[in-house]
Structure 1
């Protein structure tokens, strides 16, 4: 990831955070309980919203983003360790976590199917999986626009795909969908699932 992206991420995202994302993050993260894994924690925007977790292990593959997140981890209400790791090869034993969280991350991971298989492996049977993701629009014209924009968008925004069908990918990975809440005409999804084995 380019250093410029890491430096600009928070200021560029602030308007979206204020208008919509902060509410979604807070609502979703409040549901994370027990021993929690957060994948792709970025600059730690979720950290203030953990209230029911016993401990959070946050992984982030970019050293600059990880470094920026450490101050937020220090001020969190629960213990948070932030480590350099890749969601496609999680360095944890099977059945380690009660809850796994990912926000605006499956759009960027090169192989989301591999990452979801790793999440299934490290999440306990019956454990909760919580995602906040942007996806390809159901509206055909907007969806085609996302398809058209994605090749350029990926280059500018560190591999982010505007048009992934993330809900279907989560289902195909074997998770049981418990609840989906749509925002912004279905472009933003809050997904709650169970790791039933």
Structure 2
């Protein structure tokens, strides 16, 4: 069994600030469309070549689980939102690789230091309350030289689009489960002490009626 250090966040009451049932229901509906429009291919690229023990931070409804290669020996999937975590547990039961789903959040991961060979952050660093603290936690639970795989939407490098994202992020965040449109996540990963060894930047519209917007996908080493 995995040794677990809960750091004071194991009770469901501790996760009350992370409950977004309306957003969770919406995400459940749109995630299938997003997969068909290209997100599945992005997940494949993000996870290709992973091996060993992996912690997935903010696993949502478990859409990554079917994309892990068989060289992964275990995935520990951490998700704070109750509805999404229940869906992730169902997805874990269908996964070809072993997946255990735990209640917890990125600011205090339920794991010991240096436990994992790799960490996965997929469409989650936009919504964590404190991205620096979340990345510090991810680095803590990785072994020396361990990998962070990431796939995130980010602030545009086009000035006027970035200003628009800045303007609408407060309202967007209220309805989007805390999602922030204007984070420079690559800069945050570097600031946390990771060495980015691969970075793709591309524009993509994951669902209909939402304009194409900036995403990044890559790998970093602790």
Which category describes the TM-score, using the shorter chain as reference length? over 0.9
> 2:26 and 2:153 mapped to 1: Cα distance?
20
Aligned match of 2:35: 17
For the aligned residue pairs, the C-alpha RMSD in angstroms reads 1.3
Aligned match of 1:172: 191
Task: Give the Å deviation of 1:15.
Answer: 2.8
Query: Helix, strand or coil: the match of 2:109?
Result: coil
Task: Find the partner of 2:140 among 91, 96, 121.
Answer: 121
Aligned match of 1:32: 50
Q: Is the aligned partner of 1:64 residue 2:83?
A: yes
Q: Is the aligned partner of 1:3 residue 2:30?
A: no
Q: Is the aligned partner of 1:90 residue 2:117?
A: no
* Cα deviation digits, residues 113-133 of structure 1 (max 9, x gap): 001111111100011110000
Task: Give the Å deviation of 1:20.
Answer: 2.3
Aligned match of 2:174: 155
> 2:59 and 2:127 mapped to 1: Cα distance?
12
Moved over 6 A (4+): none
Task: Give the Å deviation of 1:97.
Answer: 0.2
Aligned match of 2:156: 137
Aligned match of 1:191: 218
Count of equivalent residues:
195
Query: Helix, strand or coil: the match of 1:187?
Result: strand
Task: Give the Å deviation of 1:12.
Answer: 2.1
> 1:148 and 1:138 mapped to 2: Cα distance?
15
Greater alpha carbon shift after TM alignment, 180-189 vs 138-147: 180-189
- In structure 1, list runs of 5 or more residues that go unmatched: none
